[in-house]
Chains A and B, each alone.
Chain A
Amino acid sequence: MSSSSLSKAWRWSVVRSPLLNAWRWLWHMGYPNRIAFDLLDSADLPSEVDALIRATVKRSKLWASERGEIVRELIAHTQDAIEAGRTGEEIAETFGDPKRIAKLMRRSMKGKRPVYWRAYRNMKRAMGVMVLVLIVGYGSLAVRFYLGKPEVKRNYIAELNARDDGYSEDQKAWGVYQEADIAWQRHTLEARKRQRAQAQEREMDRSDDVDRPWAWYHAGLDRLGSMTPEHPDYLEVVGLLRAFEPWIARIREAAQRPALGVLYSDRSEEVEIEDGIKVVRVLPPSDDPAAQRALAEVLLFNFSVMRRFTYMLKFDTQLALESGDSQRARANLLGQLGLAKQSKQQGFLISDLVGIAILDRLGQDLNEMLLAYPDPWTRDQLVALAHAISTVQSLPALGFKTEAMMFDDMLQRVYTDDGHGNGRLTRDGLFVLSGIGGGSFEGGPEFRVERAIQSLTGPMTLVMMEDRKTQYDSYHRMMDTARRVLEGGPESIGYLSYLDGLSKARVEQRLSSNYSPVDLFMPAMTKAVDRAFQSQLSTQATMTMLAIEIYQRDHGQLPESLDQLAPRYLPSVPQDPFNPGFPLQYVVGETGYIVYSAGADGDLDGGVQIDPEVDRRSFRSLSRRFSFEIEHGDDGMPKIVRDAKGLAILLEPDAPDSDWVLIDMRRAPGPTGSD
């Protein structure tokens, strides 16, 4: 750069820098013509020329210093002209149009401005273009977002309800359960009134009122499971249940019906049919699926009622055994199995988990009952129980189909339909998603603000969120994987963990909102499958126990090993998923026998268990048993790493040195039965 250029840049930076001009603007109180007009005032030019110069300067829209520069030059020019003998009129005549001159001056003066000013101007222009592009982009997205309408074609609620169409009313259980639920509420309400009256007579203080005598049924029947004869309310509850026996008999009978027959609907109301007695009244769903709420919003209230009845039957079984009524005890156990079966038949993940919980609980109860009351059980009763358990066990462990219906129903309510399985997110759909995801209370001020924000930001989610087909494929691919793992057995659960991890990573690498419908609807599949495997294991143990008991009744003694049970009493010797390649362990001692698994540490410790808490933890560790020891084969597919013997590598060799006792039929406390 030459010295003149440098001095010029310096001059600009000092005289005409935007900062200095900003300062000048402030100095002149926002009056950019002041410098120029002060010069004109002191120049005393002919009035017509003065007016023209002022008009030009005013229109120039230049910086104050630039206006001053122009005026100074025009004053010099005019004075030269006057000196040359021109009159003001002549000068004004050749001056030209102020508007045009101002425009030319502005253009040329801006050309003289420094580089950083031009860079600043270009940046502003670029930002302007960017904002324009954003506005145009947002506008086009908004048009697509607001004009898109979901087409709700399939009536999934009707499809669900149609499953029981082939059954007559007396083959459906739900009506009986509803009546029994009301009857139980009425029954306990009367007891409550009676107890209150007694409490008033005894003038019991308030703290006693809270703890007893009627607190036990505030939580439904859940506490019955842990109620022992020492409990202060025990006799009261026993009396209540005995008085309820006719209804319990009806529940047992209904539990054997082939269909549950509950009406699923998106519309229901809780009504107080009598003073203090509330029921959920289901209103028929609309025939038009577009008028329905999403299937995911259908209330599954029936499962809580069914779970409560299993507690009732369990408690009644205990009472029956105390009185030596093994017939009633067996009927109650079959009733619980019936409830588990009906729950699992609904095909929701939650209903499967309820069914699994009932089955697991029944296994533990059976263990305790056979231990406490060994005699009343006949061979036939045990065989019938074993058959009933295997029937429930043979049902699909997890119902993926109904679960997936919820997702597919959501897709049709959220996305448009191009007729080829794809579509884009819609405004109505975003509201549906928000509602399912737990939005604000409908109608409230927060709700309106939430909707307004969603409406404004919604068009941008069109860019962020994956389209309908991608969401569908992602969800169903993950469900298929879970199904494959369930079929593959516990060892393949590591594969699911692996894939789950991959999916999560994939989702997290992008914005998680890309897959928010999948995130919202994908159940904790690893945990669910893990739970199913745990249930399979404990049910296998229960079946083994029943087989041992039947064997004992046939032969008058316990089998020496589990090998003696197959194939007559069990189809095969049950395998231990914690100890791949080996069966569950069976040890006979003087006081009885135990059936145990190797536990989380994967090695056998002679049936020694540290404490029940460790056992419970080892149960949970099944999913981690084969979790991460995965490598890719030549075909690029992940494979479980195996040791030299071909066994899956143990993940938790440092887990507590403890086995997990699944069945404990030792009749008296003593040293752990290892032989």
Chain B
Amino acid sequence: MKLERELMRGAGPTAVLKLLSKHEMYGYELVEALSKQTDGVLAMGQSTLYPMLYNLEAKDLIEANWRSAANGRDRKYYSLTGKGKKKLKADMEAWARLNEAMVSIGVLKGAPA
């Protein structure tokens, strides 16, 4: 199942920031990770991922570096900046509050007490 565009627009950047918080990643790696780790819910193609990455880069939330990989090919690796970390933290708190709100009105099921 794929998310609607509006939902993806809100969730996508936070998901990418979260993935990059663990370690730096290149574009295809991100696509794969998003697809597999979210069971396809947050799967996105190149048309969505790369503009999103460029936007995050423009906002100084991530930074990019071209580097040669082990297979000898050049890849552009993205990593989180200090500003990106703060943003991720704020986004995660916002999502937690949203989650609680959704639980409270019964959209989501709450964790058993």
Chain A residues engaging chain B, CB cutoff 8 angstroms = 2, 4-5, 8, 70, 72-74, 76-77, 79-81, 83-84, 94-97, 100-101, 104-105, 107-109, 111-112
Which chain B positions have C-beta within 8 A of A5? 60
Q: Are B55 and A77 in contact (CB under 8 A)?
A: no
With a CB–CB cut-off of 8 A, which chain B residues contact A94? 45-46
Main secondary structure on B side of the interface with A: helix
Contact: A70 with B81, CB < 8 Å? Answer: no
13 CB < 8 A contacts A-B: A8-B63, A72-B66, A77-B46, A79-B73, A84-B32, A94-B45, A95-B47, A96-B46, A104-B51, A108-B51, A108-B52, A108-B55, A111-B54
* Contact present for A72 and B46 (CB under 8 Å): no
| B66 nearest in chain A by CB position | A72
Given contacts A70-B50, A108-B58, are A84 and B45 in contact (CB under 8 A)? no
Q: In whole Å, how far is B7's beta carbon from the nearest beta carbon of chain A?
A: 17
- Check if B73 sits within 8 Å of A107, measured CB to CB: no
Please report which residues of chain B, range 1-42, place their CB below 8 angstroms from some CB of chain A when the two chains form the complex.
26-29, 31-32
Whether a CB of chain A sits under 8 angstroms from the CB of B87 is no
Q: Which of A8, A77, A112 has the most CB of B within 10 A?
A: A77
Q: With A109-B54, A111-B54, A112-B57 known to touch, is A76 a contact of B28 (CB < 8 Å)?
A: yes
Interface residues on B, range: 20 to 34
Q: How far is the CA of A104 from the CA of B47 in the complex (A)?
A: 8
Q: Are A81 and B28 in contact (CB under 8 A)?
A: yes
Which 10 A-B pairs rank lowest in CB-CB distance, beginning with the nearest? A96-B47, A80-B28, A111-B58, A108-B54, A104-B51, A108-B51, A101-B47, A112-B58, A94-B45, A108-B55
- The minimal Cβ–Cβ distance linking A56 to chain B, given in whole angstroms, is 9
Contacts of B63 in A (CB 8 A): 4, 8
Interface centre among B27, B48, B50, B52 (most CB of A within 10 A): B50
A113 (CB) vs chain B CBs: closest residue: B58
CA distance A95 to B27 in the complex (A): 14
In the docked arrangement, what's the CA distance between A81 and B58, Å? 26
Given the interface pairs A84-B32, A94-B45, A101-B46, the reply to whether A77 lies near B27 with Cβ below 8 Å is yes
Task: List residues of chain A with CB within 8 A of the CB of B47.
Answer: 95-97, 100-101, 104
B85 within 8 A of A: no
Q: Contacts A84-B32, A105-B51 given: A74-B76 contact, CB under 8 Å?
A: no
- Return chain A residues, CB-CB under 8 Å to B76: 72-73, 76
Residue in A closest to B27 when the chains form the complex, CB atoms? A77
Asked if A73 meets B27 with Cβ closer than 8 Å, knowing A79-B73, A80-B75, A108-B55, the reply is yes
In angstroms, how far is the closest chain A Cβ from the Cβ of B73?
A: 6
Smallest Cβ-Cβ distance to B58: which chain A residue: A111
CB pair B45–A96 under 8 Å, yes or no, is: yes
- Which residue of chain B has its CB nearest to the CB of A91? B46
Assuming A107-B51, A108-B54, is B46 touching A80 (CB within 8 A)? no
**B27 and A76 contacting across the interface, CB-CB below 8 Å:** yes
B74 in contact with A72 (CB, 8 Å): yes
Cα distance, A8 to B74, chains bound together (Å): 20
A111 close to B55 (CB less than 8 A): yes
A76 to B53, CA, bound (A): 15
A74 B50 Cβ-Cβ under 8 A? yes
Residues of chain A contacted by B29 (CB below 8 angstroms): 80
| Smallest beta-carbon distance A674→chain B, Å | 101
Given A96-B45, A105-B51, A108-B51, 7 further pairs, Cβ under 8 A? A74-B46, A77-B27, A80-B26, A80-B29, A111-B54, A112-B54, A112-B58
Whether B58 contacts A73 by the Cβ 8 Å rule is no
In the bound assembly, the distance between CA atoms of A83 and B32 in angstroms comes to 13
A83 and chain B: residue at smallest CB distance: B71
Alpha-carbon gap, A108 to B46, bound state (A): 13
Return chain B residues, CB-CB under 8 Å to A100. 47
How does the 8 Å CB contact mask read for B74-86 relative to A, with 1 for contact and 0 for none? 1110000110000
Q: How far is the CA of A638 from the CA of B1 in the complex (A)?
A: 91
Closest to A96 in B: B47
Residues of chain A within 8 A (CB-CB) of B32 are 84
Contacts of A81 in B (CB 8 A): 28
The CA-CA distance from A74 to B59 in the complex, in Å, is: 22
Contacts of A74 in B (CB 8 A): 46, 50
CB A3 to nearest CB in B, in angstroms, measures 12
| Cα distance A80–B63 in the bound complex, in angstroms | 20
Closest beta carbon of chain A to B17's beta carbon, Å: 16
- Chain A residue contacts of B71, Cβ below 8 A: 83
CA distance in complex: A53, B98 (Å): 39
CA distance A8 to B57 in the complex (A): 11
Interchain CA distance A261-B31 in the complex, whole Å:
104
Q: B26 CB to closest chain A CB, in angstroms? A: 7
Q: Which of B27, B45, B52, B81 contacts A4 (CB 8 A)?
A: B81
Smallest CB separation, A80 vs chain B (Å):
3
* Complex alpha-carbon distance, A662 and B48, angstroms: 104
Query: A111 — which chain B residues lie within 8 A by C-beta?
Result: 54-55, 58-59
Chain B residues positioned under 8 Å from A77 (CB to CB): 27-28, 31, 46, 50
Q: How far is the CA of A95 from the CA of B57 in the complex (A)?
A: 22
Q: Which of B46, B50, B74 has the most CB of A within 10 A?
A: B46
A77 and B52 CA atoms in complex are apart in Å by: 15
* Closest-CB distance, A54 to chain B (whole angstroms): 14
Residue of A nearest to B71 (CB): A83
Smallest Cβ-Cβ distance to B60: which chain A residue? A5
Tell me the smallest distance from the CB of A206 to a CB of chain B, in Å.
94
Chain B residues contacting A96 (CB-CB under 8 Å) are 45-48
Taking CB atoms, residues of chain B closer than 8 Å to A8 are: 63
- Chain A residue contacts of B57, Cβ below 8 A: 112
Rounded to whole Å, the gap between the CB of B43 and the closest CB of chain A is 9
Residue on A with the closest CB to B47? A96
Q: Smallest CB-CB separation from A98: which chain B residue?
A: B47
A-side contacts of B54, CB under 8 Å: 105, 108-109, 111-112
